[in-house]
Structure 1
Amino acid sequence: MLFKQMMIAAITIACSLTFSSQVFAQNNAHTVQKGESLYIIANQYGISIDQLKAMNNIEKNEIYSGEQLKLPVTPDESGKDLLARLVEAEAKGESYAGKVAVATVVLNRVSSDQYPDSIYGVIYDGYQFSPVLNGTINQPASEESKRAVEEALNYQGYDNESLFFYNPDKATSEFLSDQEVTTVIGNHVFLR
């Protein structure tokens, strides 16, 4: 009995450490300090100036001290794996572009004030994704889904800001019918 209690405690601690590292692994904003430039900030975070400008809708090279800049989501390996498994389960049978778009929706939600600020938080936020509910999220991701996640990570800021997607042949939603369609890829409609 004591061994069983110790095992449960150990598993609980391991899970809480894993989940908390996924929740707090994100830092999606930077406050501009005096003397900083787009070049300095982009180099600090390992992103291009163009991506930093795209993330923040900046046309010129001017930024101001105290300004808050959005940064791309930079998950750790477990976050990337979780996202790739979601992409695999949600977009299996869809084109590569469709898989990139599904990953992009999750990343856009992480960056949005309307959703949790981590990949884990977005994916496990209620009843958003059927693979969480039916368990297919636990199956391994294909290499194509992993590549799609990497491309989506590099594509942040350049997309149509889609926050939703669905397959109209499999689901209907009054809420989604009121949203703006950003693109249609394969069987999925993407919206904001």
Structure 2
Amino acid sequence: MKKIVTILITLIFIFTPCINAKGLVSEKDEKNIKNLYNEQENEVVAVFNESKPLFITNKDVYLMAQVVYGESCGEPYRGKIAVASVILNRLISSKFPNTVEGVVKQKKAFSCVKNGSINIEPDKNSYNAVLDALKGKDPTSKALFFYNPKISTCNWMKNISKKNIITIGNHVFFAVK
């Protein structure tokens, strides 16, 4: 009798759908659930601006939200949009890499990448700031750089000739003359 129960339990586990964090869900059902909420992992969105169309994936949005959170978690919401805008402005510029990941991971580009604070789950405000920037909100007037003058260790940012200087919260956003 004990062997029959063991065999039955084994068969149930073999023929039962995968168990994931959402509960007992088959792979097919999980894909349908993702589609129901429009959560397609590699979905590409075209964002049009006056220069060129940008093609942004959900992975890009997530990475941008991580940077926004890592660089501006204590800043006002407008400052969060500004950080996301700097990423997009760099993406548009021919002087920077042409992918979000390339812009974010460019050597010495963002302190949160260097110090590891990027490796955190971004909050809702960070996502919303990225989405607002993707919709065209740019409180920086096309800034390509920003820094916090109180804590910055980057001397070139302090000493370089700047244009379009805008201060939002503790950050100074600017373009180079």
Q: Give 2:120's aligned amino acid.
A: Q
TM-score by length of 1: 0.62
Deviations 1:86-112 (A, max 9, x none): 000000100000000000000000000
Q: Give 2:94's aligned amino acid.
A: D
Does residue 101 of the first structure (1) align with residue 82 of the second (2)?
Answer: yes
TM-score by length of 2: 0.67
After TM superposition, give the deviation of residue 156 of structure 1 in Å.
Answer: 5.9
Q: In structure 2, what is the equivalent of residue 188 of structure 1?
A: 171
Gaps of 5+ in 1: 1-21, 27-44, 57-69
Equivalent residues in 2 for 1:61-72, closer than 5 Å: 70-71=52-53
Q: Give 1:174's aligned amino acid.
A: W
Instruction: Say what the alpha-carbon RMSD is for the aligned residues.
Output: 2.5
Q: Identical aligned pairs, as a percentage?
A: 34
Name the CA distance, whole Å, in 2 between partners of 1:141 and 1:46. Answer: 22
Q: Using a 3 Å threshold, how does the CA distance of structure 1 residues 173 and 149 change in structure 2: closer, same or farther?
A: same
Structure (1 or 2) with the larger CA radius of gyration: 2
Name the CA distance, whole Å, in 1 between partners of 2:139 and 2:156. Answer: 28
Structure showing greater relative contact order (alpha-carbon pairs closer than 8 Å, 6 or more residues apart): 1
Name the CA distance, whole Å, in 2 between partners of 1:158 and 1:74. Answer: 22
Q: Give 1:186's aligned amino acid.
A: G
More helix by share: 1
Q: Which runs of 4+ in 1 moved over 2 A?
A: 156-159, 172-177
